[in-house]
Structure 1
Amino acid sequence: MSLGTKVRKYREAKHWSQDDLALRLDVTQGTISNIESDRTIPNSMLLNKMAKELEVDINDLLNDASNNIMTNNEFSDHAVAAVNQYNPVFNIQSKEITESILKNQEQLTKLMEAQTKLIENLLKK
């Protein structure tokens, strides 16, 4: 099952429209439509936020339940192959690069959450 099909399935299970999910993710309805029709692949930050909003494990969105994309903080062979189908030049050069990317993504997510809280607090005043 494709990523888009899974997003649609989980969204519909929550009885949300594409607009509902778009509002929760701070994107347009067109973005959700493009993801669900597999015309667009969300970036890692949007994918992470989407998994949280839909209350599913990110691995459930990206792969069959039996095939996790990461084990012990290392990308599985099938995950690399799945990405390569969209970007054939994708190549992780070293474990250090992978760890650095993951750490940066975590930091960006924390910064975005802090920014959101700050904006919410400012709006309350």
Structure 2
Amino acid sequence: MTLGTKLRNYRNKKGISLEKLAIELNISKAAIGKGESDKSIPNSENLLKIADCFETDVYELLKNVENVNFGNAKFKGNQYVVNPNNSTINYSTPPELIESIVDNQNKITVLMELQNELLVSLLAKKT
């Protein structure tokens, strides 16, 4: 499925016109029409607005979309995580890898808590 088809489906499910969506998102009707007809791809700011409007997230909007490639994407601002290898993020990451990453993050959290407790203890002894 293309992004345009997915966007049109979301809009139709919500039961709103191009005009109403354009007003709600403060995006031109032409831009929305071009996006739905796959003549252009919305920029990251507009994707966030669209996702909010349809009560979903950008990841769900782009999931299984065949006409969007982020291999050379450049994101501005600190609200985005940029892959240091500039590779395309996909949904075929093995579950074992994800579980391992989550497990490591949990271990790091425990270590940080222990470190904080130790620091508080050491500071209490100095006073």
Amino acid at match of 1:55: E
What secondary structure does 1:27 align onto? Answer: coil
In the TM superposition, 1:48-87 aligns within 5 A as 48-64=48-64, 82-84=69-71
Distance in 2 between residues matched to 1:104 and 1:7, nearest whole Å = 23
RMSD after superposition: 2.6
Distance in 2 between residues matched to 1:23 and 1:91, nearest whole Å = 28
**Normalising by the residue count of structure 2, what TM-score does the alignment of the two structures yield?**
0.54
In the TM superposition, 1:109-124 aligns within 5 A as none
Distance in 2 between residues matched to 1:2 and 1:19, nearest whole Å = 22
Q: Go from structure 1 to structure 2 and tell me whether the alpha carbon gap of 1:64 and 1:102 turns closer, same or farther (over 3 Å shift).
A: farther
Q: Go from structure 1 to structure 2 and tell me whether the alpha carbon gap of 1:82 and 1:19 turns closer, same or farther (over 3 Å shift).
A: same
**Normalising by the residue count of structure 1, what TM-score does the alignment of the two structures yield?**
0.55
Q: Taking CA–CA contacts closer than 8 Å with sequence separation of 6 or more, which of the two structures ends up with the larger relative contact order?
A: 2
In the TM superposition, 1:33-48 aligns within 5 A as 33-48=33-48
- Equivalent position of 1:103 in the other structure: 78
Q: CA shift at 1:83, angstroms? A: 2.5
Q: CA shift at 1:5, angstroms? A: 0.7
Q: CA shift at 1:104, angstroms? A: 5.4
Distance in 2 between residues matched to 1:30 and 1:56, nearest whole Å = 23
1:11-68 Cα offsets, whole Å, 9 max, x none, are: 0001001111111111111111000011111111110011001111211211229xxx
- Equivalent position of 1:3 in the other structure: 3
Structure having the larger proportion of residues in helix: 1
The number of aligned residues is: 79
Amino acid at match of 2:39: R
Unaligned runs of 5+ residues in structure 1 are: 66-80, 85-89, 93-97, 106-125
The structure with the larger Rg is 2
- Equivalent position of 1:32 in the other structure: 32
